[in-house]
Amino acid sequence: VSVALNGLPDVQAGLEGRGVELDEVGVAGLSLPVQVAEPDGLQSTVASAEFTVALRPDVRGTHMSRFVELLTEAPALDAATLAATTRRARSRLDADRARLIVSFPLFVERIAPTTGMRAPLRYDASFEVIDDESTTSVWLGVDVPITSLCPCSKEIADYGAHSQRGRVRVQARPAELGALSLLDLFAAADTAGSAPVYPLLKRPDERAVTMTAYDNPQFVEDIARDVAVAMRDDECVAEFFVEVENQESIHDHQAIARVRWARP
Amino acid sequence: VSVALNGLPDVQAGLEGRGVELDEVGVAGLSLPVQVAEPDGLQSTVASAEFTVALRPDVRGTHMSRFVELLTEAPALDAATLAATTRRARSRLDADRARLIVSFPLFVERIAPTTGMRAPLRYDASFEVIDDESTTSVWLGVDVPITSLCPCSKEIADYGAHSQRGRVRVQARPAELGALSLLDLFAAADTAGSAPVYPLLKRPDERAVTMTAYDNPQFVEDIARDVAVAMRDDECVAEFFVEVENQESIHDHQAIARVRWARP
Amino acid sequence: VSVALNGLPDVQAGLEGRGVELDEVGVAGLSLPVQVAEPDGLQSTVASAEFTVALRPDVRGTHMSRFVELLTEAPALDAATLAATTRRARSRLDADRARLIVSFPLFVERIAPTTGMRAPLRYDASFEVIDDESTTSVWLGVDVPITSLCPCSKEIADYGAHSQRGRVRVQARPAELGALSLLDLFAAADTAGSAPVYPLLKRPDERAVTMTAYDNPQFVEDIARDVAVAMRDDECVAEFFVEVENQESIHDHQAIARVRWARP
Amino acid sequence: VSVALNGLPDVQAGLEGRGVELDEVGVAGLSLPVQVAEPDGLQSTVASAEFTVALRPDVRGTHMSRFVELLTEAPALDAATLAATTRRARSRLDADRARLIVSFPLFVERIAPTTGMRAPLRYDASFEVIDDESTTSVWLGVDVPITSLCPCSKEIADYGAHSQRGRVRVQARPAELGALSLLDLFAAADTAGSAPVYPLLKRPDERAVTMTAYDNPQFVEDIARDVAVAMRDDECVAEFFVEVENQESIHDHQAIARVRWARP
């Protein structure tokens, strides 16, 4: 057991003989108030963070308080800031790799299709940074509510068609840092269902949304593919992962689709 | 600090001077394997229990291990068994009141409307016992998935209508112990939506369910009232609480309705 | 079916013959960005709202979009603002009662006991307004993490004592609107465990917190009573509810205590 | 749109031109009653299943009802049964890959260390099958509650040491199907904390557990490494993943450690 500057034993720095390198050691579920810098401005929100480093076989423990210090020092969050914070963790904790995930709700102003009434729509977003000696990768992520209407149900029934709420999750790694925004991912997800979701609809709006969804039936597979095509066609995207979940209204389980892709 | 039979101090029995009677003290989130005795047979399932007693102002703490002992001793669960277990807790822990809530999933065999194919449908159920010196009340509860189709959307759109998954929660106190079963409550909830929910549907079934839902549009208010009428009309029900939640497919929030009633 | 100004049928206003008054009808799980006005300043955070009105037996449905409109119009949240918003809902929706619950995380700056290092500590807070023709009640609520160390374990073991994370939940109705702040409730909860919880502790701080907790063993019952005494002794509190939950480290279930009280 | 035997259009079989292969398409969150065959006998429990297949670029949709049919046909669950079910899905749905995850709570009889009193302890378990043309891999998983006591806190404080509940998650792929049981993984996880967790402890047991934990301080890193060593030393294990989460009692966030390893 070595002794640190403050005169107390440093148990974490002690000898370690099991010969096991740990891939990740750190903190999770740390909640903190943040500001997120997006192209359309700065949003104040509340984040949950997971922050880890790799731990070499010969070191017993990491210094968990460093993660909290580094996170509370970070200014307004964007991909570049968080990449720098992650690199700092790797350096200060003398580790081969570091990883940071910060997740938070964001809001876009949603305009009702007929009356034009406005209200904030929530989506969930995240940044994930993976940093090692050779590269720093940053992934952007969104989780967006949508409506889906079942093409099979519409085709086989004489009238009606079941619809349901769904979630579209997109994670993408831009070819260059800053080439993609969370709003870009939101837009790809938001337009892939049978209709978007609205916090505020008056009757004429509800009429429009109902008919839009009926006119655009989408299987969970269709939604995943439409988002995949949008990502593939965007030169700024180097790699992506899409997950769609339809909360089927005729079942008590979900229909899901997933696709992962990297630009060749 | 008094000393118990095993020679260790009994800190819980110590003097208490704050003059605060506690309404409930005990354990929560205790998971255990159980068998539930329903009219249609015995089901093996996994329960979560909360078990508490009132604590008099002059006693510092209760003996938490007793709750676990009593629960693991209980045979197949039904209203009468759990009422007895709760009374035993009140007596052994020398308390003025005791309360027990046991929650668990159950399954009914669901038959697809056209093909007749069978698969188990899950619903969640509970028993709540409230026991004091004068009475032992037992509440039965269910939480059942349903489909709802919006009457407004159907009326105002030229075609289509949005539908979504919902949950119907019913809690009822029978006039006499044993006069109501969990299956009775399930049946009232299950038939109050626009259509029931099925784990397994082939195409001809999906056609039938889609058209059934379109033929039976139900607001969240309608569902709550239909369950309320069914409960009110059942002479065995002394008191009930209904909560319906529609997971609106055009919004990312829920529409809810609640009603509480006691037979005059 | 009556016809509204926009030329579309108003299905909600239709005839209703079941004779069931609903206690609450409205929206739940609506997420929105808010600012909360506390004595120590304005905080930006993200809220989840539930907003309902009672529905008379002769009306089929309420107008759900009104709740969303009213919430998005509300300025910085405090008890008075939300009371006004709730009264407005009752009036606009022509209802006998209205109820609003808004929940959100807040942060306090937490100072480590020895090094004085600072980091934000999250707690969860809420306002609940219940409004009818005669009165408007506002309840404030907090949900605060604490550490508890078991007095029994300390007493009976030759060394050591198990400790665990807990949550203290306090809801209080002030005698007069504005007489209590969320921070007042936070302070009562935060000081009732064996030690407070900190986001950031260096070794000398961890030493201090460890010994503080060992010096202040508290049963779940003790914590509930200490908060109850603090509330009872505060003349501004007309009514309160306290719930404490210890996430026992020697078990996989919780120990809980609850007390409800109204000034005579 | 092709027409199936039942005379209804088969929309899922329709032409698909987007050129996107989906990695996984299927159902998630399907709840069903199951029996799990473990070396110590058959347990009745409640499972949640996710079941997917890959979808070729030229097919629009899969037939979701097949997954439900296959799952409800499965007899008592073990690795071999579920491997067969997964291969059947791949074959019936004419897919290149299939994947099945079934998760459920299980119970072991836990004996209190001093009094010998018995009560069931819950842990969560899972089987994951990944099947393609060349191989069928089966992973076993457990998620086990433990107590951890902080070595740093013990060392630097004059008395006491903070402890907390934790979770140890182990997933392992046996070298040969059937070479490992869920109970083997449970045992590795259960013994790696500072002390095991018990549903039922009388005072003499609590004394023993308190002192055992104090005598065995374990960092989150230590726990992960001890499980890793146990897995590495077991010739039956071809590959494993360990995740440990300490629900720190002095913080409101978690400390975590992860390690992934494959036998060279």
* Predicted confidence (pLDDT) per residue in B152-199, tens digit: 999 999 999 999 999 999 999 999 988 999 999 999 999 999 999 999
Average pLDDT over residues D225-243: 98
* Predicted pLDDT at C7: 79
Beta carbons of B226 and C18 less than 8 Å apart: yes
Give one DSSP letter per residue of chain A, joined into a string: -EE-TTSSEEGGGS---S---EEEEEEEEEEEEEEEEETTEEEEEEEEEEEEEEE-TT-----HHHHHHHHHH--SB-HHHHHHHHHHHHHHTT-SEEEEEEEEEEEEEEE-TTT--EEEEEEEEEEEEEEESS-EEEEEEEEEEEEEE-HHHHHHSSS---EEEEEEEEEEEESSTTS--HHHHHHHHHTSSSEE--S---HHHHHHHHHHHHHS---HHHHHHHHHHHHHT-TTEEEEEEEEEE--SSSSSEEEEEEEEE--
Distance, CA of D220 to CA of D255 (rounded, Å): 7
- Substitution target in A250, A253, A254 with the highest count of B β-carbons within 10 Å is A250
CB-based contact, B116 to chain D, within 8 Å: no
On chain C, the residues whose CB falls within 8 A of the CB of B25 are: 220-221, 224, 256-258
The answer to whether residue B252 scores a pLDDT higher than 80 is yes
Q: How confident is the model at residue D25 (pLDDT cuts 50, 70, 90)?
A: very high
Residue C21 has pLDDT above 60, yes or no: yes
Q: For D178, how many CA atoms within 13 A lie in the half-sphere containing its CB?
A: 4
Q: What percentage of chain B carries pLDDT values higher than 90?
A: 89
Asked if residue D152 lies in contact with residue A11, where contact means CB atoms within 8 angstroms, the answer is yes
Residue in C with minimal Cα distance to A115: C6
Q: What pLDDT band is residue C2 in, cutting at 50, 70 and 90?
A: low
Reduced to 3 states, what is the DSSP secondary structure of residue C84? helix
Count how many pairs of residues, chain B against chain D, have C-beta atoms within 8 Å: 79
Looking at the complex, report in whole angstroms how far the Cα of residue D109 sits from the nearest Cα belonging to chain B.
Answer: 11
Cα end-to-end span (Å), chain A: 50
Residues of chain A with confidence (pLDDT) below 70: 1-5
Backbone angles phi, psi at A146, to 5 degrees: -140, 170
Residue C46 has pLDDT above 70, yes or no: yes
Q: From its phi and psi, is residue D77 left (phi > 0), alpha (psi between -120 and 50) or beta? A: beta
Q: Inspect the interface and report whether the beta carbons of D22 and A61 lie closer than 8 Å.
A: no
* Phi, psi values for residue A13, rounded to 5°: -85, 0
Q: Do D199 and B68 touch (CB under 8 A)?
A: yes
Q: What is the per-residue pLDDT for D8?
A: 85
CA of B41 to nearest chain C CA: how many angstroms apart? 30
A179 at C interface, C-beta within 8 A: no
Chain B closest-CA separation from residue A225 CA (Å): 21
Mean pLDDT of chain D: 95
Taking CB atoms and an 8 Å limit, are D26 and A255 in contact across chains? yes
| Per-position DSSP letters for C194-237, written without gaps between them | SEE--S---HHHHHHHHHHHHHS---HHHHHHHHHHHHHT-TTE
Residue with the larger pLDDT of the pair A10 and B20? B20
pLDDT of res. C56: 96
Q: Distance between alpha carbon C240 and the CA centroid of its chain, in Å?
A: 11
pLDDT at D240 over 60: yes
Rounded Cα distance, A66 and D12, in Å? 52
CB-CB contact of C258 with B24 (8 Å): yes
Share of chain C above pLDDT 70, in %: 98
Task: Measure the CA–CA gap between C15 and C3, rounded to whole angstroms.
Answer: 13
Supply the pLDDT for residue D75.
81
**Inter-chain CB proximity B200 and D65 less than 8 Å:** yes
Residue A3, pLDDT score: 63
Of residues C25, C224, C260, nearest to B257 (C-beta): C25
Radius of gyration of chain A (CA): 22
> Contact at 8 Å (CB) between C138 and C157?
no
pLDDT > 70: percent of chain D: 98
DSSP conformational letter for C74: -
Question: What's the pLDDT at C156?
Answer: 97
Structure tokens at D234: 């077991």
Q: How does pLDDT run across B43-79, given as a tens digit for each residue?
A: 999 999 999 999 999 999 999 999 999 999 988 899 9
Across the interface, which of D8, D27, D60 has its CB nearest the CB of A219? D60
CB < 8 Å to A107, chain B: none
pLDDT at A4: 61
The neighbour count for residue B81, using CB atoms within 10 Å, is 15
Give the C-alpha separation, B86 to A88, whole Å: 57
Distance of alpha carbon A55 from alpha carbon D255, whole angstroms:
14
Q: What is the pLDDT of residues A126-136, one digit of tens each?
A: 999 999 999 99
Q: Are D122 and C252 in contact (CB under 8 A)?
A: yes
Q: How confident is the model at residue B29 (pLDDT cuts 50, 70, 90)?
A: very high
User: With b meaning 16 or more CB within 10 Å and e meaning fewer, what string describes A135-168?
Assistant: ebbbbbbbbbbbbbbbbbbbbbbeebbbbbbbbb
- pTM equals 0.96
**In the prediction, which pLDDT does D93 show?**
97
Angle at A104 between CA A98 and CA A106, to 5 degrees: 140
Mean pLDDT value across chain C: 95
pLDDT for B40 equals 79
For tokens 């080439």, the residue is A179
How many CB atoms are closer than 10 A to CB C94? 10
pLDDT of residue D3: 64
Q: For residue B108, which phi and psi values (nearest 5 degrees)? A: -120, 150
pLDDT at B3: 63
Residue contact A251–B201, C-beta within 8 A:
yes
Query: Among A215, A55, A182, which residue's Cα sits nearest to residue A106?
Result: A182
For D154-174, the pLDDT digits (tens) are 999 999 999 999 999 999 999
What span, in angstroms and rounded, lies between the C-alpha atoms of D188 and D195? 13
Take residue B9 and report the two structure tokens written for it.
Answer: 């101090």
Give the per-residue pLDDT at B87: 98
Lowest-pLDDT range, B31-40, B235-244, D111-120?
B31-40
